Structure 1
Amino acid sequence: MTPSKPPGKRRRSAPPPRLPSPAPPVALSPPGFVADRAEAAARVERLLRYQFCDRALLEEALTHQSFSDGALSYQRLEFVGDAALGLAFSNFLYLTNPTLGPGALSTLRAANISTEKLARVAVRHDLYPLLRRKCPRLDLLVGQFIESVKQELMHDLATAPYGGSVVKAPKVLADIVEAIAAAVYVDCKFDLEKLWKVTRWLFEPIITAETIDEQPVTTLHELCQKHGKVAQFKTWQKDGMIVVNVFVGGEMVGLGSSEQKSLGSVNRNLLSSASENIGQNLSLN
């Protein structure tokens, strides 16, 4: 929520819009660490402001399949959560966009429940450290993505929630969000309205028809997927600049850099044009 203006200070100019400000991402636990399930569940309940009737559902949602103590993993709940969030967003977008056709509504829904968007929800609310798991490689991949998001939050706050990182979002982060949503959904007897009321704020800012063009990475991925292609990114720093290459089908289709040390700046300038070039190339195939 937007904080109140400090009393007694003159406003020089209109400040940029502020995003919800959860605690910054915490350091990942060491390999082999197992989160205390009762403590992790209690933290999620506080986050959601929702008390589970059957807390075992939440504990299941916070258990990765690599955790081998005979406990159920989140996989079944993730299956339900994927569908439940899709329907919840379908209802919301249908009601709030009375003039949009099914194609535009489908695009908005896909953007709001994409792996990239849901992974960022998990990062912003520090959900991964609460997951019981035994997979050091997963910790490494998640750590790299979290670091990328933290850099964007420092340099490009206005667009970071929408995605745009050149580091691929690990699916496990989106799975956690979907599993937690499913735990709520099942716990409240499959009440979709209750699910939306409890979880909606987690997804803010919700991507709208006015803001969907601000996420070129998602747009590029969706474009490639429609044509059976995969987009890959390579990024590095050189002489104080961030340099990004975009590859599709092993062929480099774009190169960009920024002196502002902002991935968002590179992505908006490079990937928007790359999307156009890819679209032209694919249409000729």
Structure 2
Amino acid sequence: MSLIRNILNSRSNEDGNFFLNLKEILGYKPKSKSLYIKAFTHRSMNIKDNDGNAINYERLEFVGDAMLSAVIAAYLFEQVPHGDEGYLTKMRSKVVSREHLNELGKELNLIGLVKSKIPKSNFGNNIHGNLFEALVGAIYLDKGYKFCERFIYERVINPHVDIETLEGKVISYKSLLIEWCQKEKNTFDYEVYEDTGRDELKHFSVKLSINNKVVSKARATSKKKAEEKASKRAFFAFQKQIARRT
């Protein structure tokens, strides 16, 4: 506990606005301050407690992810009585998608509260969603289920969850395209190859073929991103046919 107390004092001395900003986000004064310190401590700080356990937000991410899934699942279950398991699972995935969580983290400017030895400009986009999950985990452990549920309703469900809009939202063009190809018994192939070009970062290029014909191309800094971009371009090329079958 003495180590946590020292970290708290250090954090407060360096950034006196930390808990004031946090209170504005939460709408209440944190009870267990050490939880929120963890929620905004990056692993690059390399801090451990007296038992040698790492002090950072990663374990809180796990708790926050579970709480988001539980609250969203319960909401959808009540709001969509006709939805079967597959439908409800897809809808929940759209709400808690990495893209949406990143948007929520950015909306609250959570990265501004992070303590890290890495320049914030070097972080990937997913840190915004990771911090949001960690914050939700801290809220649950600090104040309990009802407070956590209320926060999720105020920050996620009420402003962002609309059933009709969600039904039309695509979270993975690649999955949608593959599903369509399988239904239509079309063959498909993603040809991936490294493409350094003149860029400083390594890129990957993708050729997407359907029935042995190249239908789209894309490049990105990862194979997954390049495949998704190529799938999105193919989706819009075959949108009318896909709409008739999905």
Q: Name the TM-score, length of structure 2 as normaliser.
A: 0.63
Using the TM superposition, give the Cα deviation of residue 67 of structure 1 relative to its aligned residue in structure 2, in angstroms.
1.9
Flag structure 2 segments of 5+ consecutive residues without an equivalent. Answer: 1-10, 49-53, 183-188, 193-203, 209-214, 219-231
- Give the share of equivalent positions with the same residue, in percent: 22
C-alpha distance in structure 1 between counterparts of 2:239 and 2:111, whole Å: 35
Change (3 A) 1:125 1:111: same
Q: Measure how far apart 1:209 and its partner are.
A: 3.3
**1:180 aligned residue (112, 135, 138):** 135
Aligned residue for 1:211, secondary structure, equals: helix
Partners of 1:176 and 1:89 in 2: CA distance: 18
Unaligned runs of 5+ in 1: 1-33, 143-169, 233-247, 257-268, 280-285
Structure-1 residue corresponding to 2:207: 251
Matching of residues 4-153 of structure 1 within 5 Å: 36=14, 39-70=17-48, 72-136=55-119, 139-142=121-124
2:159 is aligned to 205
Letter in 2 for 1:80: V
Alpha-carbon displacement from aligned partner over 1:211-260 (angstroms, at most 9, x marks no partner)? 125544x2315547989x99x9xxxxxxxxxxxxxxx982155479xxxx
Return the offset for 1:82. Answer: 0.8
1:199, CA displacement in angstroms?
A: 3.0
Asked if the contact 1:111–1:207 (Cα under 8 Å) also holds between the matched residues in 2, the reply is no
Answer yes or no: is 1:220 the counterpart of 2:170: no
Give the SS at the match of 1:250.
Answer: strand
Matched residues in 2 for 1:208 and 1:108: separation? 10
Bigger radius of gyration = 2
Deviation at 1:270, TM superposition (A): 4.7
- Structure 2 residue aligned with 1:243: none
So what's the TM-score if we normalise by structure 1? Answer: 0.55
The count of residues paired between Structure 1 and Structure 2 equals 188
The structure showing larger relative contact order (alpha-carbon pairs under 8 Å, at least 6 residues apart) is 1
Query: Hey, what's the Cα distance between the residues in 2 that align with 1:110 and 1:275?
Result: 24
1:134-153 alpha-carbon deviations (Å, 9 max, x no partner): 223x62455xxxxxxxxxxx
Q: Which has the higher helix share?
A: 2
SS in 2 for 1:41: helix
For the aligned residue pairs, the C-alpha RMSD in angstroms reads 3.8
- 2:100 and 2:138 map into 1 onto residues whose CA distance is 20
Say which SS state the counterpart of residue 251 (structure 1) adopts.
Answer: strand
1:62·1:131 contact (CA, 8 Å) conserved in 2?
yes
